[in-house]
């Protein structure tokens, strides 16, 4: 069935991208305008809970797209998004919180001097958080890219744990296990989906540039890429830092969405969620990452059904809390065994494809 | 005196890491797969033992043996269901599957057993307190290294004196060629998973006796640290895993004992050691240099 569906979606040979560049630009602009109107309608029409979910979906899209850049496109199996998100969230929160709020939160040990008096507006704090996180990625990159494959996975995972342990212990900076409270709820759908646009734009432009070709070459065969004169280390570093930047900013927005952060929020669980998204979407496909991030966010809400009590043929089945994650992990394993390429493989959505498809449809009629 | 006390503590903790690390190192040696689910298999082993002793009142050694047998079966089942279909897939696919299996076991544990920790009773034989001079030593701390040494001896015998062991060593050299020689590699891999999982269960149960409570997420930290221990010792090398485990256990205890102000950073030590080793001695203590 899926095969048949895919065959119908096959638009045949596409025109060269140069030929339709101007049209594609206008189409994209129209799409953005439509999206903005749609978001405006959703924001005013839906309850606060669903607006929150839409924001979360937007942040997940940012995270999945940037995670896909390093894992799917460059083929470096990093497990560190939770570290980057933690870094971004803490930096942003520490910069935006008012001094009064800070002195209220830090009861065990006072906050160190420069941070204790600073209070910046959100955009500036987010920018700084992104840069600090990219810097963290830069520092991590040196040991991380000395190793490959599963060693790289375990080292990045280790960094995630180290960051969490540091956040738990550096009392005078992070407030330790108590975390930071009273962060203003500043994240709106405009922030979340605006960042999505920025991330999608930067990442797709990067992938289509000569740097992107080099990244894909590294994914396919590192040795061959090196013999072609590609500087493997710095290309990996570039992808890692871009990915870290967006994950840091998304972490900062997440902090201003849920208003309370603590070290135990940033466990490996966050990375696992993102991993499901990029695997389901298809490792290496930005479109897939976007699609799967939205699917998984709302699918998770929908799956709450299995956790609620259910009456079936007169039997009362009690709700089982935590069943959602069981289903999610089964989905991940299932995808790996039966559909390793994910929903989209490495295919991307392009206007050329859509118009070609529409053209073929009308010819058939 | 104090140093000796810390040494004993470190030896006990190190032995536990070693028991768990052996399973990692054997599987990695053969399949080049980090079995992320190893720590969670350990958790299941602990719950099985808990049910056997606390619910059915079986003596501790029966529940230990029973739990090891069932956990071995679980290990083989995981291999059969999740890893075998991916034997010819890229290594990263198998790794993602392993992460999925790990989360599956953790969350299934949360659903079935609940998130609240359960008290794990320490059998009397392990609960005696010896006073030697100024030392205060729990009998568990004496037994654990002894039992670990015994298990290692048996394992080395199996590896170097039996046909199964020979097959395992051959597999770790070259899986494809061994299959061409007419050896049922799937069976040997299944046996490896069985042995590794049983040892993880044993390590987990002694872990639960040392820190006497269990919860569905208990396997994560010991699992990760045992993997680090396996890398420190030289992955694929059983004696190396033992050494790596002891090294890590001692290092953690000594960090807490000598630098109490850094005690909170204890959980990060393993990863700092891992990074240092990967930079300066990537093949580990006993590993052979590859590539």
Looking at the DSSP assignment, which residues form a beta bridge with residue A180? A261
Residues B265, A215: Cα–Cα separation, whole Å: 36
pLDDT digits (tens, 9 = 90+) for B171-202: 988 888 998 998 999 999 999 999 999 999 99
- pLDDT value for A365: 54
What is the per-residue pLDDT for A311?
61
Measured torsion, CA atoms of residues B212, B200, B264, A91, in degrees rounded to the nearest 10: -120
Q: What confidence score (pLDDT) does residue B266 get?
A: 87
CATH number, domain B2-280? 1.10.3470
Flag if A146 and B278 touch (Cβ within 8 Å): yes
SS3 A221: coil
Which of the residues in chain B have pLDDT under 70?
Answer: 1, 288-291
CB contact under 8 A, A336 and B96: yes
Q: How many Cβ atoms sit within 10 Å of the Cβ of residue B149?
A: 13
**Cβ of A169 and B264 within 8 Å?**
yes
Q: Which two tokens stand for residue A136?
A: 């963290």
pLDDT on residue A99: 84
What Å distances lie between residue A332 and A63, A259, A338, B1, B112, CA to CA?
A: 18, 30, 10, 52, 21
CB B26 within 8 A of CB B192: yes
Residues of chain A with pLDDT under 70: 1-3, 306, 308-321, 361, 363-365
How confident is the model at residue B291, as a pLDDT? Answer: 40
Domain ranges of chain A: 19-267
Residues of A in contact with B110 (CB under 8 A): 322, 325
Cβ within 8 Å, pair A329-B107: yes
Q: Which tokens is A252 given?
A: 């900062």
Tens of pLDDT, residue by residue over B137-153, are 888 888 899 999 999 99
Residue ranges per domain, chain B? 2-280
pLDDT at A257: 93
B284: which residues sit within 8 A by CB, 6+ positions away? B231, B232, B233, B234, B235, B237, B240, B244, B277
B100 vs A contacts (CB less than 8 Å): 329-330, 332-333, 336
From B23's Cα to the closest Cα of chain A, the distance in A is 17
Q: What is the pTM of this model?
A: 0.90
- For residues A209 and A36, the answer to whether their CB atoms sit within 8 Å is no
B204/chain A closest Cα distance in angstroms: 21
Q: Identify the pLDDT of residue A261.
A: 92
Q: Which chain A residues are Cβ-neighbours of B112 within 8 angstroms?
A: none
CA distances B84 to B33, B89, B93, B108, B149, Å, are 12, 10, 12, 22, 32
Please report the ipTM that was assigned to this predicted complex: 0.88
Phi, psi of B136 (to 5 degrees): -120, 110
Distance CA B287, CA B50 (A): 37
Instruction: Answer yes or no: do B95 and A147 touch at CB < 8 A.
Output: no
CA-based nearest residue to B39, from B53, B54, B27: B27
């Amino acid at each position: 069935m899926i095969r048949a569906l895919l065959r119908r979606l096959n638009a045949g040979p596409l025109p060269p991208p140069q030929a339709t560049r101007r049209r594609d630009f206008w189409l994209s602009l129209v799409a953005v305008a439509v999206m903005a109107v749609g978001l405006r309608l959703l924001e005013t029409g839906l309850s606060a809970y669903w607006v929150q979910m839409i924001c979360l979906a937007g942040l997940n899209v940012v995270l999945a797209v940037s995670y896909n850049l390093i894992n799917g496109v460059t083929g470096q199996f990093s497990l560190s998004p939770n570290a980057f998100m933690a870094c971004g969230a803490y930096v942003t929160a520490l910069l935006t919180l008012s001094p009064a709020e800070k002195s209220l939160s830090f009861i065990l040990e006072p906050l160190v001097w420069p941070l204790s008096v600073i209070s910046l507006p959100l955009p500036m704090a987010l920018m700084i958080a992104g840069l600090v996180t990219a810097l963290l990625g830069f520092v991590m990159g040196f040991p991380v890219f000395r190793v490959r494959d599963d060693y790289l996975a375990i080292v990045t995972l280790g960094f995630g744990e180290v960051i969490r342990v540091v956040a738990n212990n550096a009392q005078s900076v992070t407030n330790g296990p108590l975390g930071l409270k009273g962060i203003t709820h500043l994240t709106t759908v405009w922030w979340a989906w605006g960042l999505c646009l920025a991330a999608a734009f930067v990442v797709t432009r990067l992938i289509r540039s000569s740097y992107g070709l080099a990244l894909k070459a590294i994914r396919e065969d590192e040795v061959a890429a090196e013999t072609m004169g590609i500087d493997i280390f710095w290309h990996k570093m570039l992808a890692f830092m871009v990915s870290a930047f967006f994950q840091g900013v998304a972490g900062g927005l997440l902090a201003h969405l849920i208003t309370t952060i603590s070290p135990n929020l940033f466990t490996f669980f966050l990375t696992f969620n993102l991993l499901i998204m990029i695997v389901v979407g298809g490792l290496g496909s930005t479109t897939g990452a976007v699609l799967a991030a939205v699917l998984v966010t709302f699918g998770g809400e929908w799956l709450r059904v299995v956790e609620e009590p259910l009456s079936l043929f007169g039997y009362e089945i009690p709700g089982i809390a935590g069943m959602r994650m069981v289903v999610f992990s089964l989905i991940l394993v299932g995808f790996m065994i039966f559909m390793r390429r994910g929903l989209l493989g490495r295919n991307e959505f392009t206007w050329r494809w859509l118009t070609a498809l529409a053209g073929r449809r009308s010819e058939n009629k | 005196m104090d140093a000796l006390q810390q040494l004993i503590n470190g030896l006990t903790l190190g032995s536990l890491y070693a028991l768990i690390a052996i399973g990692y190192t054997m599987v990695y040696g053969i399949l080049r797969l980090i079995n992320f689910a190893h720590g969670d298999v350990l958790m299941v082993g602990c719950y099985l033992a808990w049910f056997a002793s606390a619910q059915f009142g079986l003596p501790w050694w029966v529940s230990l043996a029973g739990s090891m047998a069932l956990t071995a079966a679980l290990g083989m089942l995981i291999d059969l269901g999740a890893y075998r279909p991916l034997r010819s897939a890229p290594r990263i696919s198998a790794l993602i599957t392993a992460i999925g299996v790990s989360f599956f076991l953790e969350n299934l544990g949360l659903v079935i057993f609940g998130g609240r920790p359960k008290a794990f009773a320490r059998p009397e034989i392990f609960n005696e307190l010896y006073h030697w001079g100024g030392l205060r030593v729990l009998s568990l701390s004496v037994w654990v290294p002894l039992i670990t040494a015994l298990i290692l001896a048996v394992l080395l015998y199996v590896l170097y004196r039996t046909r199964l062991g020979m097959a395992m060593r051959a597999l770790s050299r070259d899986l494809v060629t061994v299959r061409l020689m007419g050896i049922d590699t799937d069976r040997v891999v299944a046996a490896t998973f069985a042995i590794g999982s049983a040892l993880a269960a044993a390590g987990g149960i002694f872990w639960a006796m040392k820190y006497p409570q269990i919860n569905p997420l208990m396997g994560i930290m010991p699992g990760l640290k045992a993997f680090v221990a396996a890398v420190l010792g030289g992955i694929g090398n059983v004696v190396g895993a033992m050494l790596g485990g002891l090294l890590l256990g001692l290092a953690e205890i000594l960090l807490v004992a000598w630098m109490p102000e850094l005690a909170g950073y204890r959980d990060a030590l393993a990863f700092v050691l891992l990074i240092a080793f990967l930079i300066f001695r990537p093949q580990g203590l006993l590993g052979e240099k590859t590539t």
